[in-house]
Amino acid sequence: MESEKSGLYSSSSTSAEGFKYDVYLSFKGPDTRKTFTDFLYTDLEAFGVRIFRDDDEFRKGEEIGLDFLKAITESKICIPIFSKNYASSKWCLGELAKMVECKRTSTQLILPIFYDVEPSEVRHQTGSYEEAFHIHEIFE
């Protein structure tokens, strides 16, 4: 695995199926970066899985970069790690929207992980997800 100048971990080869990455990891940095996400990344990498993940701390107010949107389309599997504050990030929600769009138009899979949050909280937008979506509505 090589570290690119943009601060993104990735590998450079393309698979026979046309996907550059096996997995795209989407996560809220402060919630899981130094814990669960790092462990998952390390374990997947040890098995030779080609992974795309953001290695830089997200800066508030920035729009999701084209590199990230492209990486999502070039990934066979997308893994959003739903944590307490995932929905508070417009960046994470932008990634998730692109994942859903790609799933509808290709053979891509989405394998969600629920980290310290119940699936029903995400599905029904209750708890921290209700709060986050309410805040997004206020500022839109």
> Domain limits at 83?
2-139
CATH of the domain at 118: 3.40.50.10140
Cα 58 from chain centroid (whole Å): 12
* Nearest of 56, 48, 54, 58 to residue 15 by alpha carbon: 48
Domain count, the chain: 1
Crossing angle for the helix pair 90-105 and 66-73, to the nearest 10 degrees: 30
pLDDT band for position 50 (cuts 50, 70, 90): very high
Model pLDDT, residue 9: 42
Asked whether the predicted pLDDT for residue 59 surpasses 60, the reply is no
Is the separation of the CB atoms in 72 and 100 below 8 Å?
no
- Catalytic residue (choose from 95, 101, 121, 137): 95
121 included as an active-site residue: no
Q: What percent of the chain has pLDDT over 70?
A: 78
Q: How many other β-carbons are positioned within 10 Å of the β-carbon of residue 70? A: 13
Q: How many C-alpha atoms does 38 have within 13 Å on its Cβ side?
A: 9
Please calculate the CA angle 118-121-126 and round it to the nearest 5 degrees: 150
- Model pTM? 0.80
Model pLDDT, residue 89: 87
pLDDT band for position 95 (cuts 50, 70, 90): very high
- What is the Cα–Cα distance from 26 to 118, expressed in whole angstroms? 17
Q: How many other β-carbons are positioned within 10 Å of the β-carbon of residue 16? A: 5
Cα 98 from chain centroid (whole Å): 10
Query: What dihedral angle (degrees, nearest 10) is formed by the CA atoms of 139, 84, 55, 96?
Result: -60
Structure tokens at 75: 């990934």
